[in-house]
Amino acid sequence: MQRRMSQRLRIATWNINSLRLRLPLLSRLVAALDPEVICLQETKVPDELFPAEGPPALGYPHVVRRGMKGYNGVAILSRVPLVPIDTAPDWCARGDCRHVAALLDLPSGPVEMHDFYVPAGGDVADRAANPKYAHKLDFVAEASAWFAARPPLTRTVLVGDLNIAPLENDVWSHRQLLDVVSHTPAETQGLLAWQRAQFVDALRHFVPEDQKLYTWWSYRNRDWRASDRGRRLDHVWVSPDLRGALRSHTILKDARDWPQGSDHVPVCVELAL
DNA sequence: ATGGTTGAGCGTCAA
């Protein structure tokens, strides 16, 4: 029986909440996770101010990024060569920098990599009263329809800060958060429809749905660990053909205590490809 | 119903 050698592929995703401020923390991420690919959100840096020397110095010479002034911004840092993908639309026609995609050029063949930063959606869970909430729902619906219209995906990974905690145990209190933006039925149904059309939830592949799982803890808590009012806002999805390639996952909870840390912690999934 | 904290960039806005 012939058996092709498979390669380890670790993909990390992190809402870094300012790349320039937290560039030094990336070396901690690399030390802890040793990923081949790092997907970042909320880089908050225009492309012309992107710290070009930073990622290569950390061992990630291949970079695709899309940034703007002040807000949003996404980037993929890689040890593996990248080929940018530019076929996705400008979501909601806003010119926002909320999505970047690339092919990972692996010896076993290309892997399609998507990095998303879904709108947070503001405070009021009412489409009519809150344009940010309407934008969030529209963004999810548009992305969902775009992926659903494609032929069945293969060797595809989608990660990012999707700003929605879809399952009951993705939040500290399902009942208390049903009206809180990030866990309303309109959001969770929209996100699950997007996911289930083409993807497998890689983190829930490893952690059963009856167990609490969080990736974000608000800054607005005196003791985030003691109160533990977390939400699972950061996600890793893989196309169904990669289910058997899933090896392990890490939620780097310790990163929430890094000096001047982000309110999101890095999430990592290892595949054998 | 409100507050609590952080980042960008210099007003507040976004989260």
Reported as a single tens digit per residue, the pLDDT across A179-224 is: 999 999 999 999 999 999 999 999 999 999 999 999 999 999 989 9
Residue A5 has pLDDT above 80, yes or no: no
A246-251 vs A267-272, strand pairing mode? antiparallel
From CA A63, how far away is CA A155, in angstroms rounded? 20
Q: A237-248 burial string, b = 16+ CB within 10 Å, else e?
A: bbbeebeebbee
pLDDT confidence of residue A1: 58
Contact flag, residue A20 CB and nucleic strand B, below 7 A: yes
Mean pLDDT over A232-250 rounds to: 98
Q: How far is the CA of A222 from the C1' of B5 (A)?
A: 9
Nearest CA to A158 among A105, A112, A114? Answer: A114
Helices (H), A114-165: 131-148
Judged on CB neighbours under 10 Å (0-12, 13-18, 19+), A68 is: middle
pLDDT confidence of residue A222: 87
Contact flag, residue A219 CB and nucleic strand B, below 7 A: yes
A72: the nucleotide nearest its CA (via C1') is B14
Nearest CA to A233 among A175, A178, A188? Answer: A188
**Which single residue is written with the structure tokens 């059309």?**
A197
Average pLDDT, chain A: 96
**Which single residue is written with the structure tokens 């009263």?**
A129
Contact A14, A40 (CB under 8 A): yes
Mean pLDDT over A234-249 rounds to: 98
Contact A35, A11 (CB under 8 A): yes
pLDDT confidence of residue A119: 97
Contact A174, A230 (CB under 8 A): no
Contact flag, residue A248 CB and nucleic strand B, below 7 A: no
Domains of chain A, earliest start first? 8-272 (3.60.10.10)
Contact flag, residue A229 CB and nucleic strand B, below 7 A: no
Query: What DSSP character marks residue A169?
Result: G
